[in-house]
Amino acid sequence: PVAFANTPEPIADAIFALTEAYNADPNPDKINLGQGAYKDNTGSPWILPSVRGAEAKLAQHPPGHEYLHRFGHAAFRRLSAEVAFGAGSRVLAEGRVASLQTISGSGAVHLAAAFLHTLYPNSLVYVPDPSWSNHRVMFEAAGFAVRDYAYYDPQARSIAFDALLADLRAAPAGSIVVLHACAHNPTGCDLTPAQWSDVASVLRDRGHIPVVDSAYQGFASGDLDADAHAIRLLLDELALPGVLCQSFSKSMGLYGERAGAIHVVVHGIAEPAAVVARIEGQIAWIARKEYTTPARYGAELVTAVLSDPGLYAQWREDLVTMSTRLRTMRAAIQANLRELRAPADDNWDHVTTQIGMFWFSGLSRPQALWLRRERHVYLAESGRVSLTGVNEGNVRRLCEAIRDAVE
Ligand code: PMP
């Protein structure tokens, strides 16, 4: 046999296939509503002014290209934890958090799965239905059996909260539960603070371990603290031991730089230092076996922003700029669809009640395929629309196409 000739067909990841189809389409009016990467109102990628400031700082004081410590960039680890938990948080003051720099949010989720599997190989992992598709893929790849818990009710276009609680209650004690910190991908539906409290009670009663995936802090509401409500409630205030996976891809527009962190929070031990050190060592050992050390430049940029009060203030403004633009596009989509008398059971209320980067439109797979084929509008077959590709120049045309698709 010829070496490599029997390589099987790879699994096709739908979102990459969609981007490739969009790129291959020669139509100048095509609209890209696939991958979640922020674009400005002209449809161009946006380098945040705060990040531009950080780039200028690094150009003046180049950090060089030495390897990072195996745990990552020291200041980045501390400052990223402060963004998530709050600078004055109890867990940080008490030294309860093991923090390591990762290959962005994906790397954090992967290391969370691999680390948890070393401790709890027989636990079930619960992911929301639906979720970011990589959650299931990564936890299964780590060796876990993965189950869904109810999350979204497509008829009601809202969270299936009673079913969600029932599923988490019915899960075997000590299960691992993946939760989206904010701006749930793909539904755009987040729990209310009261609902988070109810979920926390079930997690505590059942001894479940939360894995909180935070890929959109500041991007949902424009406010870093508001978007950290679930993180801080579960992992600090209510003292649940758990894992936080953190990404700066969206919040700083650093997609290709792969800046992120994993934070493992230890509770129930008065002197956590020794356990925290062992956790950091164990996770670094997993990374050692896979890629040795994380990447430098993105962590330098994040650190430059977070360590400079002026750039930090600019970043908060940048988050408002991005989240406001997306909210404005939601309102424009809703107004246009109503004006065009496009039929919808809720008259398009849900477009503006959802939050974050994605509009979970309820468009069916055939409608999504029709929009692609007939109108050069590229959205996921699940009906998920990345709002980042919508702007003042294309929103009317997009809504006319959607009206034609649903009629
Ligand atoms: N988690 C969720 C929920 C996401 O939506 C994403 C990005 N689509 C990620 C994690 C990972 O992104 P990255 O690896 O770029 O940080």
The DSSP symbol for 61 reads S
Separation CA 351–CA 399 (nearest Å): 12
Confidence of residue 16 (pLDDT cuts 50, 70, 90): confident
> Closest Cα to atom 7, ligand 1: which residue?
215
CB 58 within 8 A of CB 305: no
Residue type, 378: Y
**pLDDT-derived band of residue 133, with 50, 70 and 90 as boundaries?**
very high
Residue 178 has pLDDT above 90, yes or no: yes
pLDDT at 398 over 90: yes
Best of 212, 248, 249 for a ligand 1 pocket test (most atoms within 8 Å of beta carbon): 249
Instruction: Note the pLDDT tens digit of each residue in 209-223.
Output: 999 999 999 999 999
The per-residue pLDDT of the chain, averaged, comes to: 97
State the closest ligand 1 atom to the C-alpha of 213, by its place in the atom list counted from 1: 1
Instruction: State in Å: Cα 249 to ligand 1 middle.
Output: 8
Residue 179: band (very low, low, confident or very high) from pLDDT cuts 50, 70, 90: very high
Alpha carbons 97 and 93: distance in angstroms, whole number: 9
Atom nearest to 131 CA in ligand 1: 3
Task: Report whether pLDDT(13) > 90.
Answer: no
Atom 10, ligand 1: residue with shortest CA distance: 105
Instruction: Using pLDDT thresholds of 50, 70 and 90, give the confidence band for residue 1.
Output: confident
Whether residue 26 is predicted with pLDDT greater than 90 in this model: the reply is yes
Report the nearest-CA residue for atom 12 of ligand 1.
105
Mean pLDDT of 113-130: 98
| 0.95 surpassed by complex ipTM | yes
Cβ of 105 closer than 6 Å to ligand 1, yes or no, is: yes
For the annotated catalytic residues, the residue numbers are 132, 213, 250
Among 35, 127, 134, residue to substitute to test ligand 1 (most atoms within 8 Å of Cβ): 134
Say yes or no: CB of residue 39 within 6 Å of ligand 1.
Answer: no
Rounded distance, CA 286 to CA 62, Å? 30
- Beta strands per DSSP E along 183-270: 209-214, 242-247, 259-265
Which of 13, 19, 106, 258 maximizes ligand 1 atoms within 8 Å of its Cβ, making it the mutation to test the pocket? Answer: 106
Mutate to test the pocket of ligand 1, among 38, 102, 185 (most ligand atoms within 8 A of CB): 185
Pocket of ligand 1 contains residue 249 by CB under 6 Å? yes
What average pLDDT does range 193-208 have in this prediction? 98
CA of 342 to the centre of ligand 1 (A): 32
- Residue 257 Cα, ligand 1 centroid: separation in angstroms? 13
pLDDT of residue 400: 97
104 C-beta closer than 6 A to ligand 1 = yes
CA of 248 to the centre of ligand 1 (A): 9
For the stretch 46-65, pLDDT in tens is: 999 999 999 999 999 999 99
- Of 334, 332, 396, 338, nearest to 361 (Cα)? 334
Helix, strand, coil shares, percent, the chain, to 5? 50, 15, 35
If you take atom 2 of ligand 1, which residue's CA is the nearest one?
A: 215
**Nearest atom, ligand 1, residue 247 CA:** 16
Residue 338: how many CB atoms within 10 A of its CB?
15
Which residue minimizes the CA distance to atom 4 of ligand 1?
Answer: 215
Q: Closest ligand 1 atom, CA of 132?
A: 3
Q: Is the CB of 213 under 6 A from ligand 1?
A: yes
Query: 185 CB less than 6 Å from ligand 1?
Result: yes
Which residues, 6 or more positions from 105, have their beta carbon under 8 angstroms from its beta carbon?
Answer: 213, 214, 215, 245, 246, 247, 249, 260
Q: Position of tokens 């020794």?
A: 274
Rounded distance from Cα 106 to ligand 1 centre (Å)? 6
- Distance between CA atoms of residues 242 and 96, nearest Å: 11
Q: With 90 as the cut, is the pLDDT of residue 15 above it? A: no
Q: Is the CB of 127 under 6 A from ligand 1?
A: no
Cβ neighbors of 251 (< 8 A, separation 6 or more) are 216, 217, 218, 219, 319
Distance 290 CA to ligand 1 centre (A): 20
pLDDT band for 292, please (50, 70, 90 cuts): very high
